[in-house]
Structure 1
Amino acid sequence: MDHEKVNILLVDDQPAKLLAYEVILKDLGENLVIASSGREALEVLLKTEIAVILVDVCMPELDGFELAAMIREHPRFQKTAMIFISAIQVSDIDRLRGYEMGAVDYVPVPVVPEVLRAKIKVFSELYRKTRELERLNQELEDRVRARTAELENSTAKLRESEQRRSMAIAAGKMGSWDWDWITGDWMWDEGQYRIFGVGPEIFEVNPANVQALLHPDDVDQLRKAIAEFNSGTRAYETEFRIVRPDGEVRWCVGTAAATIDASGRVVRVSGVTVDITERKRAEERQNLLAREVDHRAKNALALAQSIVRLTRADGVKAYVNAVEGRINALARVHTILSLSSWQGAELSKLIDEELAPYSLGGQIRLAGPEVQLLPATAQTLALALHELFTNSAKYGALSTRSGRLMIAWHAEDDRLTLTWEESGGPLVRTPKSRGFGTRSLLASVESQLGGRAQFDWRAEGLLCRLEVPLTRKPAATTAPGKVDAAAELQRASG
């Protein structure tokens, strides 16, 4: 039997998945409406009657849960069927959260076409029958409205109110507003007050007060919008900043649309404000991180270049082993720092990475609290620990089964003290000259970190004491955050 097609909204930020859903649902014979983001989906909902919403849980900026919450805030969409698609393992808690947000069902990935079609078909038919009942009710209401002029007038006012409310969803970080262009009256919803950091009980909405909350550099945006509406523009969108009464600066994006009368004159302007402060801050953090990673990468390359150029060995094999060991030490600390977004590294993690090859047999003991190191400090200490472990494995306590190594550290007055104590190994003699490893360790700890390294070549085993500041950043010689490691190692080799 022929029936009126209903609209099915498909929401996903990946075009390939949207295309797959279209292919699967094509045979249903319904209208498929595409939205590639949560914001675009909201715009579609304000303009189009939607029977079923198929939405991906994981999307940037506005995920499926947040979108569902915003949709459910609006009276028109409280009964709209929403089906979540999740490409990750969904826990019971996530399912409960989804149902609380208004989901009627979940579809896991990979999607089974027959199952998806069946679910969509059921909700489409339910929507169609519901609409048929609504149309019958509307006809009855129309008859009553025709007999009662007062009721007709009341209904017209409700429609006008609904039209204003449909301009925005007062939820989360969104707000809506309405400006009567003729009388100058303003109307803000709860979300708009929340974004601007004011309350209706103390804040009177008028052009002067609104302008006072705008960032001084963005006031011209308001003037420009008014001028464009006066010159015939029907829609306007811009980004701007506001300064809340408590001094906090927030980034917003505003969208406005004009309503005109029969003569083409603007009689009302309505709009939506979205708080995008977190997105702006994320962009700033991303840019800062990119610059920091660039500096760190250059510094790591400089260290690697110096290691290759300055390492000394009796043969090719020994040279390769020495270079590989030092570069691997750099790579390990780089991985730790990357996992923390270059915010720092725990000293215990650095030690664990270096002692991994020597931890069998219980020869090594560790004692110390959790200590957070700055990125540059972590890199330098990682190389220093590598040299100590390497020398111990070749000549010291870790070169024999009977050898023992105790590593202890503590932090006091923003200064880290690390003690390296070997015992039970071969008889130790004070070296006549220092090798590259020892010299680079001294140079890095003392020159780069402003610390101190002490060696006591006791007969029963090496005792080494390292002291480094925890809050002082290494001095920059070429760019902020970049240590001229090559110069330091060059001095160490001299």
Structure 2
Amino acid sequence: MDHEKVNILLVDDQPAKLLAYEVILKELGENLVIASSGREALEVLLKTEIAVILVDVCMPELDGFELAAMIREHPRFQKTAMIFISAIQVSDLDRLRGYEMGAVDYVPVPVVPEVLRAKIKVFAELYRKTRELERLNHELEDRVRARTAELENSTAKLRESEQRRSMAIAAGKMGSWDWDWISGDWMWDEGQYRIFGVSPDSFAVNPANVQALLHPDDVEQLRKAIAEFNKGTRAYETEFRILRPDGEVRWCVGTAAATVDDSGRVVRVSGVTVDITERKRAEERQNLLAREVDHRAKNALALAQSIVRLTRADEVKAYVSAVEGRINALARVHTILSLSSWQGAELSRLIDEELAPYSLGGQIVLAGPEVQLMPTTAQTLALALHELFTNSAKYGALSTRSGRLAIGWQVEDQRLTLNWEETGGPLVMPPKSRGFGTRSLLASVESQLGGQAQFDWRAEGLLCRLEVPLTRKTAATVPGKFDPASASELQRASG
């Protein structure tokens, strides 16, 4: 039995994914309506009866949660079925948030075609049966509305305008306006006043006052936009900045459409303003992050290159082992720093990471407060601790079960002091010459961090004292920056 097709709205900012959903759902034989953004989806909803909305959670400008909240604000869409598609791991809290926003189901990515079709089909059939029942229950009202089509059309336009205004106010980032081209009268809704940071009680909407709130660099392009309407343009969209009375600069995107009379003359211009400041700031943060990642990658490669170039060993196997150990130490501290978004690393965490490869039972005692290290300090200390642990495991207290190691640290006047004390291990003899590890430790702590490293080769075990400044001025001018001078120092130390 043939049935009336229903409209299924597909919302996603990626054309490839929209095409994939169309292919999967084509077998249902329904009308597939496409929207590439949340704003476009809202425009479709205002004009088209939609049975089911399939929306991507992660979209720019308006994400799935925000779009769902705006849709549910209006009584007309409170029962419209919405299914979220998420390409990320969705937590229980995210699911709860989605259901609170009005979602009826979640579909994870990758999408299983059969599952997606089944879910959509259920809600499409439910919508269809509901509509059929409504048509039976309201047959008389439908006949009356058919006889008064002109009045209904006028009422629908008014309702559509009011719906758009209600959604703009609910979102808090949208506003609508209307300009009588003939009389020059303006009308702003509450959202428009909010975006511009003015009050309807004290702000008179006229060309002069509005222009005073525009960024000087964007005034000319808006003048050109107005001139385009006189040349026959019927719609226009542009991004611009506003200067609120409190001095804050906000980014907006404005969309305007002209209404003409029978002779083609413009009689009214209406539009919507969207505050996109957060999106612009997110783009700036993303660009900054990309530059920072590139910067840190170059620094890490430079440091790894120095380790490879300066490591010395009599045999290839020993050389490979030494390089791998130092690179792994560098990788571990990078993992810790990345988890904190490169804000820093806890000293105790660095020590725990270096302890991880060893099974030492109760041979090691740690004592000290929580100390947050800047990225450069963390990188250098991680390599220094690696050298100390490696040497102790090979020749010192950690090479025997009877050996003991005490690591203590304290902070005073923005200066970290770390004491490394070994006891109970093999008899210690002062080295005739310092190996690369010891020399590189000295060079990096003293040259790169401006600290001091002292060694006391006592017979009962090594005593090492590291002093490192923690202030930004002396410890790291640019977080994460590798100092080429320290590489030169390491070269001299190994030579």
TM-score when scaled to structure 2?
Answer: 0.86
Deviation per CA, 1:245-287, whole angstroms, max 9, x where unpaired?
Answer: 3333222222222222222222222222222222222222222
* 8 Å Cα contact 2:177/2:192 also seen in 1: yes
* 8 Å Cα contact 2:84/2:105 also seen in 1: yes
SS in 2 for 1:41: helix
* 8 Å Cα contact 1:292/1:481 also seen in 2: no
Deviation per CA, 1:300-351, whole angstroms, max 9, x where unpaired?
Answer: 2222222222222233332222222112222222222233333322222221
Q: 1:359 to 1:305 in 2, by over 3 A?
A: same
**Cα RMSD after superposing both structures:** 3.6
Q: CA deviation at 1:160?
A: 7.5
SS in 2 for 1:365: strand
Q: Which residue of 2 aligns with 1:222?
A: 222
Q: CA deviation at 1:31?
A: 0.7
Q: CA deviation at 1:126?
A: 4.8
Deviation per CA, 1:31-76, whole angstroms, max 9, x where unpaired?
Answer: 1112344333223324433222122334455332221111123454
Q: CA deviation at 1:414?
A: 2.7
Deviation per CA, 1:118-168, whole angstroms, max 9, x where unpaired?
Answer: 554454355446656777899866987999999989948845844864995
Of residues 112-121 and 425-434 in structure 1, the stretch that sits farther from structure 2 once superposed is 112-121
Structure 1: how far apart are the matches of 2:478 and 2:147?
81
Structure 1: how far apart are the matches of 2:267 and 2:203?
24
* 8 Å Cα contact 1:329/1:382 also seen in 2: yes
Q: 1:219 to 1:193 in 2, by over 3 A?
A: same
Q: Which residue of 2 aligns with 1:158?
A: 158
Q: 1:201 to 1:342 in 2, by over 3 A?
A: same
Q: 1:268 to 1:418 in 2, by over 3 A?
A: farther
Structure 2: how far apart are the matches of 1:274 and 1:225?
17
Q: Where does the alignment leave 5 or more consecutive residues of structure 2 unmatched?
A: none
Q: CA deviation at 1:229?
A: 1.9
Report the count of equivalent residues.
Answer: 493
Deviation per CA, 1:350-408, whole angstroms, max 9, x where unpaired?
Answer: 21211112242221222223322222221111111111111111221111111111222
Q: 1:202 to 1:255 in 2, by over 3 A?
A: same
Q: 1:208 to 1:430 in 2, by over 3 A?
A: farther
SS in 2 for 1:343: coil
* 8 Å Cα contact 2:52/2:80 also seen in 1: yes
Q: 1:139 to 1:262 in 2, by over 3 A?
A: farther
Q: Which residue of 1 aligns with 2:32?
A: 32
* 8 Å Cα contact 2:169/2:190 also seen in 1: no
Q: 1:474 to 1:39 in 2, by over 3 A?
A: farther
Structure 2: how far apart are the matches of 1:293 and 1:376?
15
Q: 1:27 to 1:479 in 2, by over 3 A?
A: closer
Q: 1:160 to 1:68 in 2, by over 3 A?
A: closer
* 8 Å Cα contact 2:302/2:482 also seen in 1: no
Q: 1:131 to 1:430 in 2, by over 3 A?
A: same
Q: Where does the alignment leave 5 or more consecutive residues of structure 1 unmatched?
A: none
Of residues 120-129 and 340-349 in structure 1, the stretch that sits farther from structure 2 once superposed is 120-129
Q: CA deviation at 1:9?
A: 0.7
* 8 Å Cα contact 1:173/1:191 also seen in 2: yes
Q: Which residue of 1 aligns with 2:115?
A: 115
* 8 Å Cα contact 2:61/2:276 also seen in 1: no
Q: 1:64 to 1:406 in 2, by over 3 A?
A: same
Q: 1:252 to 1:419 in 2, by over 3 A?
A: farther
Say whether residues 1:406 and 2:395 are aligned partners.
no
* 8 Å Cα contact 1:376/1:473 also seen in 2: no
* 8 Å Cα contact 2:450/2:475 also seen in 1: no
Structure 2: how far apart are the matches of 1:393 and 1:119?
60
* 8 Å Cα contact 2:366/2:407 also seen in 1: yes
Deviation per CA, 1:169-209, whole angstroms, max 9, x where unpaired?
Answer: 74143332222223333333333333333333333333333
Q: CA deviation at 1:84?
A: 3.0
Q: 1:390 to 1:171 in 2, by over 3 A?
A: same
Q: 1:172 to 1:134 in 2, by over 3 A?
A: farther
* 8 Å Cα contact 1:7/1:49 also seen in 2: yes
Structure 2: how far apart are the matches of 1:328 and 1:416?
24
